[in-house]
């Protein structure tokens, strides 16, 4: 790639790594740097990134700090949860779903500010480099992409710290550094590295940042009610909430009851296996509730077809194809199924468990007269014989031929 770059929009957290990248971009590319810091509910103050950017020579008009929590949940998390997406049977895609939004805003800011390049701090080993860059290119095929971790020789912590010291980049110390690589947003927090690189080693209890352990969760269950409209949760215990408020409240409930912890080995898109631990408290509650309300509002084949396409949909998100045409196609089909997914789900939260105890909807397809074990006048059980014989016909033909 040509090193001729005039302006670059950097996904900037304000931390040490992206501050080093900021300075490296200025030196290596001799270009104007625009910083973009997104608040997607990571639980840390984002405003200090402004002062840090100014300290490193960024002009005020080139510093973008935005609260994207509502957009994140409304336009990314909720659509994904309408599909009941789970990657490889367990992962609720907390990191994966945040990257498209950040990429989108970087490209939009680049257009607004006349920048010809974007940059991120993802390493050359992980999935995030793919997610960011597929997002950039899906929205602007001509944008230049700078991935410092694939270009520089600062490939150790010692070299990074030395670079920071040589260039006057503050190295903030807030006690003992966590041994884990962590990523957080309003949907989840993830942990990688450290002892987790041994898939046989149990993580320490002190690793978990959000939730109490199930053992230490309250000894009494807590009942909640979630109301759904068009496949999205709209009220909690009768209180109408915005998407971000909803996920925030569910996170608090999940954390209180030790809900949403998982420890998995996943297959990265780049080809390696990776062990990670995740806390997704509110998302775990939402997934259980959504499947419960769908169970009475979706037709059997509609529900089964959704379950069949879900792994494909989840894989697209995991691999970074949020803006791809096939993801949009699947989303349109999923959203069509959600028009009648309306009603209320009652849940019991207890020591790491989310237990469905009731569901009701004015559009319910559940017919008590048809399924009762008591006497009824709407279903002739004799009809089942012909149904079975017709479905068994090919088995009968094959059985007689093989006899």
Q: Give the contacts of 382 (CB within 8 A, at least 6 positions apart).
A: none
Which entry of 96, 128, 190, 274 is annotated as an active-site residue?
A: 128
157: annotated active-site residue: no
Q: Angle at the Cα of 158 (from 153 to 162), degrees rounded to 5? A: 80
Q: What gap in Å lies between CA 28 and CA 22, rounded to an integer?
A: 10
- What string of DSSP letters covers 298-322? S-HHHHHHHHHHHHHHHHHHHHT-T
Q: Measured in whole angstroms, how far is the alpha carbon of residue 21 from the centre of its chain?
A: 25
Residue with tokens 């990248």: 21
Distance CA 114, CA 31 (A): 13
Backbone angles phi, psi at 278, to 5 degrees: -140, 145
Q: Is 183 a catalytic residue?
A: no
Tokens of 69: 């929590």
Tell me if residue 99 is catalytic: yes
Choosing from 50, 69, 99, 359, which is the catalytic residue?
A: 99
Q: Are 24 and 148 in contact (CB under 8 A)?
A: yes
DSSP 124-145: SSSSHHHHHHHHHHHH-TT-EE
User: 74, 75, 116, 181: which is the annotated catalytic residue?
Assistant: 181
166 is catalytic: no
Question: Among residues 287, 335, 77, 277, which one has the least CA distance to residue 187?
Answer: 77
For 287, other C-beta atoms within 10 Å of its C-beta total 18
3-class secondary-structure state, position 205: helix
Torsions phi, psi for 18 (to 5 deg): -75, -25
CA-nearest of 284, 239, 236 to 259 is 284
Q: How far apart are CA 220 and CA 5, in angstroms?
A: 60
Of 146, 164, 148, 100, whose CA–CA distance to 7 is shortest? 146
List the catalytic residues.
Answer: 17, 99, 128, 181
């Amino acid at each position: 790639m040509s090193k001729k770059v005039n302006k670059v929009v950097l996904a900037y957290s304000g931390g040490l790594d992206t501050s080093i990248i900021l300075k490296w971009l200025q030196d290596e590319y001799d270009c104007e740097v625009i910083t973009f810091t997104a608040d997607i509910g990571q639980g840390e103050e984002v405003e200090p990134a402004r002062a840090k950017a100014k300290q490193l020579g960024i002009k005020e008009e080139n510093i973008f700090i935005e609260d994207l929590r509502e957009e994140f949940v409304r336009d990314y998390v909720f659509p994904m949860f309408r599909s009941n997406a789970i990657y490889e049977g367990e992962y609720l895609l907390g990191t994966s779903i945040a990257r498209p939004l950040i990429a989108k805003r970087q490209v939009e800011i680049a257009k607004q500010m006349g920048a010809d390049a974007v940059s991120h701090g993802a390493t050359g080993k992980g999935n995030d480099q793919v997610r960011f860059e597929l997002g950039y290119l899906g929205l602007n095929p001509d944008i230049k992409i700078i991935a410092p971790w694939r270009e520089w020789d600062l490939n150790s912590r010692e070299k990074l710290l030395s670079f920071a010291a040589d260039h006057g980049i503050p190295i903030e110390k807030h006690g003992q550094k966590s041994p884990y690589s962590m990523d957080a947003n309003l949907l989840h927090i993830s942990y990688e590295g450290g002892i987790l690189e041994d898939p046989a080693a149990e993580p320490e209890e002190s690793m978990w940042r959000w939730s109490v352990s199930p053992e230490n969760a309250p000894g009494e269950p807590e009942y909640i009610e979630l109301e759904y409209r068009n496949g999205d949760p709209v009220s909690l215990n009768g209180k109408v909430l915005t998407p971000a408020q909803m996920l925030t409240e569910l996170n608090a409930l999940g954390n209180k009851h030790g809900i949403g912890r998982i420890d998995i080995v996943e297959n990265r898109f780049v080809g390696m296996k990776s062990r990670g631990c995740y806390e997704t408290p509110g998302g775990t509650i939402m997934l259980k509730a959504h499947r419960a309300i769908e169970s009475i509002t979706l037709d059997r084949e509609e529900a089964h077809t959704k379950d069949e396409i879900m792994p494909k949909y989840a894989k697209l998100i995991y691999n970074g194809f949020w803006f791809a045409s096939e993801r949009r196609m699947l989303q349109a089909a999923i959203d069509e199924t959600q028009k009648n997914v309306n009603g209320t789900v009652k849940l019991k939260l207890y020591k790491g468990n989310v237990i469905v105890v009731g569901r009701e909807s004015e559009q319910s397809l559940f017919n008590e007269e048809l399924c009762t074990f008591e006497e009824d006048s709407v279903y002739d059980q004799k009809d089942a014989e012909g149904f079975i014989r017709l479905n068994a016909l090919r088995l009968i033909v094959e059985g007689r031929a093989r006899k």
